[in-house]
Amino acid sequence: MTESSTTPGLRLAGISKVLGGRTIVDDLHLDIAPGEMVSLLGPSGCGKTTTLRLIAGFLHPDQGTVEVAGTDITRLGPERRPSAMVFQNYALWPHMSITKNVAFPLKVARVPRTEVKERVAEVLELVGLSHHADSRPAHISGGEQQRAALARALVQRPQLLLLDEPLSNLDAKLRVRVREEIRDIQQRLGITTVLVTHDQEEALSVSDRVAVMSEGRIEQVSTPAELYRAPATAFVAGFIGSSNTIPALDLGEGEPGAEWMVRPEDVRLDPAGMPGVVTRVLPHGHYAEVVVQVNDTNLRAFVTGEPPEPGDEVGVRISRALRYRDGKLDDAPVTVPA
Ligand SMILES: Nc1ncnc2c1ncn2[C@@H]1O[C@H](COP(=O)(O)OP(=O)(O)OP(=O)(O)O)[C@@H](O)[C@H]1O
Ligand SMILES: [Mg+2]
């Protein structure tokens, strides 16, 4: 293997940051492969933006190092780093055309005029904004403004693209479309990318891997499928998707300090299963979420086809469960034969 294929595109080696007397980023380790897109996902206040600012150079860590393609950039300011950041609020200049906005970082970097023209035209083409080259930001849609902000980052040809909640100002439909466009461009350019989001669907749908953060630490970094099927900690299990948490004692395990996690799609209604009573039915179009009380535990099941009604007596069968001991996944998934 060559050196370059083993050197991460980005390495965060044990970075920590104290702000206002509190540890906001806590000994965080993360390696991102060249060309990989990784999302930082976690609840509000867990330190996602702070981590991104540490990568971009707007903040410097108290401990640890930031490396890009094997080079330590920990002490460099943002303008000397090979990264470009897209901010949540776009930060476009209202009095400048889209062309001038996108050209701005190149002007600051004293790139020759003819090269600026070429690179801006190229990147506007890439994000599909050539026809708005002369428009002002106020005269284009939110999605187009977001693509202009992306163009302004890409025109710098960064080694590292940093996106902080880039889609949160867009409506639901547009968010889906623009995130697919961003993913498409990211893959075509093969650019190492960190996306910060608190929207799990967004993170799971466009990332190669997702890093779930809690209180300044990474709980788990995995592919979206792995994260969903085998959450490493009880926090991740509760944060990603919908889940049932069942104290071990309720399943007759007699093991205090352990609990089970069961996805609603792994709970089946089956007359031969554990007896229970339907307490709630929430229709979602092509399926219904059905809550069944079994002993003292409420179990949520996804039911396709005709759902039962509240008050119905039903049987419940669990086809797959994960066990957590002291908050950590301790066994391979238990698959209960149907
Ligand atoms: N300069 C600062 N001084 C003191 N505390 C700060 C500073 N910057 C951030 N914090 C605190 O650090 C914590 C993490 O903030 P951060 O912006 O990184 O969270 P986040 O995960 O991006 O949250 P959100 O999803 O709401 O954007 C918050 O409690 C915040 O108040
Ligand atoms: Mg944030």
CATH topology assigned to domain 3-230: Rossmann fold (3.40.50)
The predicted structure's pLDDT at residue 302: 95
How many percent of the chain have pLDDT more than 70?
Answer: 93
The residue extents of the domains of the chain are 3-230, 242-335
16, 22, 49, 214, best to mutate for ligand 1 pocket (most atoms within 8 Å of CB): 49
Output the pTM of the full model: 0.89
Q: Which residues pair with 321 in a beta bridge?
A: 334
Cβ of 152 closer than 6 Å to ligand 1, yes or no, is no
Structure tokens at 147: 């693509």
Q: What is the pLDDT of residues 138-167, one digit of tens each?
A: 999 888 898 899 999 999 999 999 999 988
Residue 331 neighbours by CB under 8 Å, 6+ apart: 322, 323
Structure tokens at 264: 């609603």
What spacing in Å lies between the alpha carbon of 317 and ligand 2's midpoint? 40
CA distance 73 to 48: 19
What spacing in Å lies between the alpha carbon of 18 and ligand 1's midpoint? 11
Average pLDDT over residues 188-212: 95
Q: What is the pLDDT of residues 46-62, one digit of tens each?
A: 999 999 999 999 999 99
Average pLDDT over residues 115-131: 93
Which architecture, in CATH terms, is 242-335?
Beta Barrel (2.40)
The predicted structure's pLDDT at residue 253: 58
Helix (H, G, I), strand (E, B) or coil at 170: coil
Residue 281 neighbours by CB under 8 Å, 6+ apart: 288, 289, 290, 291, 307, 308, 309, 310
Please determine whether the domains at 3-230 and 242-335 fall in the same fold group of CATH.
Answer: no
Q: What is the pLDDT of residues 224-243, one digit of tens each?
A: 999 999 999 999 999 998 89
Cβ of 24 closer than 6 Å to ligand 1, yes or no, is yes
Q: How confident is the model at residue 85 (pLDDT cuts 50, 70, 90)?
A: very high
50, 58, 162, 163, best to mutate for ligand 1 pocket (most atoms within 8 Å of CB): 50
Segment holding 161, helix H or strand E? strand 160-164
